Structures are given as C-alpha cells and as structure tokens.
Structure 1
C-alpha cells in the first residue's frame, strides 16, 4: 500500500460506479478512508464490499441538497474526520438526451445541468461549509464531465455548457476560499479510461499538492494538443 493519503477521510460523490469508484479504490490503496455516494442501492452495496473495511457507502441523489451533507456527516462519525471531497459525475442508467440546439429540449437541458453541475455545487457547498465550521482546511477535486458525441459528431451543447461551468465555478470558489486553506482543483478529461485519472486525483487530494489551487489538469492522453495541430 502507498501512503499518499494516509489518515485522510474522503467523500466521493458518484463513487459507486465508473471514474468515481476507480478513484475511491485508489484512495483506499493509498491509505484513505472513504465514503462513496451513489443513487443505486445495489451499486452502493457492491462498492462497499469491493472497497473493504475502510469504506462506507451512502445511497442518495446528489442533486438533492441533503445528500452530500449526510455523506460528510457519515464520514465524520465513522472515521473521525473529513478532509477532502471528490466529485465525479455519476453514471446514469437513463442519461439525459442531448444534441444539436435545434433538437435540444428544455427537460434534457435541465437534467444535464442538474446531473453535472447542480450536484457539484451542492457537494462543494456542503464541503466548504463543513471545513469552515470545523475551522480547518481541506481539498476538493471536481471531475469535469466527459462530453459524448451526438448525431453528426456534434458535441452535446448542454454537456459542453456543464463542462465549462464546472471549470469556471471551481476557479471562482478556489479564489474565494484560498484564505481558508481550502483548495479546489479540476480534472478535465474527454478520452481517458477511469483508471487513467486515479493518479491525478490522488495527487490533488494529497499534501504533495498543498500549493496547487484553482488549477485544471487535463488528462486526455494528449488529444487536446494533437487536435490543435490540425
């Protein structure tokens, strides 16, 4: 076991599937205690079994205001501390439909923003309030949502809006709460497999990144650089 996150207690929103679960596994391997949050009760059970004794799972809808706060309180009760938040967009069995603007419905627009942005705002708010209430610093990492292609290879307009908003929101609150020793950073990806993000997430939540704040780390295998050449 590595020890980059030894003695840290971390809440992972969207932590029972996909990138969130992969990150939670990496956190545990690096010595952390974790509370993972997901919508599906079966996924919560499987995640808790998979992660072992240093983990707890909490079922809940991250777009509801109480969910993240309940998970943070569970983390404090079970592990005696709350040190970091990792927010990953949760895999949904019925993802919101999106597409070119002329076909984009208002319900799909709202659903996409709720899933990717409202849930993030609520989780970040709960974390910041808890850190300030405990008079301690902490770290937040927000995973910027992956943008799937739609018909005619056009990007999802609502998804693209959410991706940009996550980055802008995170930078804004990073500036606001830096004086409280609260760090907020973003991992941005379009193409990586979930496990490819784990090392970056571990670093950003560790004390090795104590002077890293308000940054967007792009983990895409160099795709964004290559696309700029053509």
Structure 2
C-alpha cells in the first residue's frame, strides 16, 4: 500500500502530458495529492490515469498570463497550491552560429522565466499557510560539454542561481526551493536521440542504463514531502553517476 505522504496537498506539475511530468503527477496522486496537470495541450491522458483528483489545464507557462490562467483553474477546482514542480522544458539543439535571438529568448522563457512566474503567483498563499515546496528542473548537462546547447545550458545554470536565492528569501515561511538535475531520460522527448549518443551517455555513468521517468520522480517526491523540511537551496543530481564534481 502506498504511503499517503502528500495527503491534502495540492500540486501543480508542468510538462505533465508525458515523460517525467506524467510519471510524477501519477505518483503524487497515488500519495494523496490533488494534482493540476499543465501543458501546452491539455494533458487529458494523464488526467485519465489519475481520475477525479486531477485537473488538466492547457497553458503556456513561459509568461505571466499563462500562470494566472493556471492559478484561476487550480484555485477554483482544487484549492490553494502547496507544491509547484517546474518540469516543462525545451532544448533545441542549435550551434551558436545559427542561434537567433528568438530561440535564445524562448529557451530562457520556458526553462527559467516560468520558474520566476510560478513563484510570484503562488508564494503569497504559501506564506499564509507557512508551508510550500518548489522543485525546479535544471539539467546535468550544465556539467557536461554538449555541442549546440549553449542557450539551454545557460538557462539551466540560471535555475541553480534562482533556487539558491529564492530559498533564502522564503525559508522563514516554511517554504523550500530545490532543483533536480536529471540525466538523459527515456521519454517521448528523447525518442529521436541516436542510439549511439545514448550509449555514449551510459558509458559515462556509474549505472549503465537509460534513466527512466520513475528514477527522476522518486527524488522529487521526497523533496515535496514533509521529510525534506530541512532541505532547501540544493541542486540534486539524478543521473546514475555521470556528472562528476570537479
């Protein structure tokens, strides 16, 4: 029987239509949370896996109006938000010679600006309740040299700076803010990655296999629980031992 570690909590998960976001949303619900599932297209399939304790919301989380839209539906249908997981991300592979400003700005808007907007939207109610959890997705790629991802790595490094600053701003109100740095993970989003490249990634890991969404969801469940009340401002690398601290 699954332990109800998140009972009566209300969580927002972005990028919930598939992959890590879907896995995490289903597992949060199994632990007692009510979950708002957010994606560019309404994640109805994920909602159907969960049932009555989930709502599906179509929204662009890269801007303030998108987050206001999310908040309107969550507060109307579920209540005040306790947990935000900023999982949604984009990673267009473009070398600097071909990288235009629109792609640069869109990459930052989805991968970093969204985290700022979510905090501005939900911190007031979390402060009133003296409890809240933010888990923002960065990437282990910030410590690995990968061609064509300078914009992506810059945004994901920005996530680390943001969570560390924000953690200090809100700690007195019982709110924690942490980051997850996942490995290349077996999701629909990585289905087009060549097998040769996947193998080269595994060879650098201590655990010689592709990361699965469940491998990433487990640590997020911990960070969004009461058990992680004394963990904040941390960047947790979940990559099978690929990223070596130097």
Q: Quick one: distance in 1 between partners of 2:85 and 2:62?
A: 15
Q: 1:211 aligns with which of 230, 236, 239?
A: 230
**Structure 1 unaligned spans of 5+:** none
Q: Distance in 1 between matches of 2:215 and 2:6?
A: 18
1:7 aligns with 2:1: no
* 1:139 equivalent among 133, 139, 144: 133
Give the aligned CA root-mean-square deviation in angstroms.
Answer: 2.2
TM-score w.r.t. length of structure 1: 0.85
2-side partners of 1:158 and 1:129: how far apart?
31
Q: How much does 1:155 deviate? A: 4.9
Partner of 1:48: 47
Query: After TM superposition, what 4+ stretches of structure 1 lie above 3 angstroms from structure 2?
Result: 95-98, 145-148
Distance 1:74 1:182 in 2: 23
1:162 and 2:155 aligned = yes
Query: 2:219 aligns to what?
Result: 200
1:99 corresponds to 2:94: yes
Matches for 1:78-93 after TM superposition, within 5 Å: 78-90=77-89
Could you list the per-position Cα deviations for residues 167-218 of structure 1 after superposition, in whole angstroms to 9, with x for gaps in the alignment? 1111111111111221101111123322211110110000011111111111
Q: Which residue of 1 aligns with 2:207?
A: none
Q: Report the TM-score when normalising by structure 2.
A: 0.80
Please give the secondary structure, in 2, of the residue aligned with 1:56.
strand
Q: Which runs of 5+ in 2 are unaligned?
A: 185-210
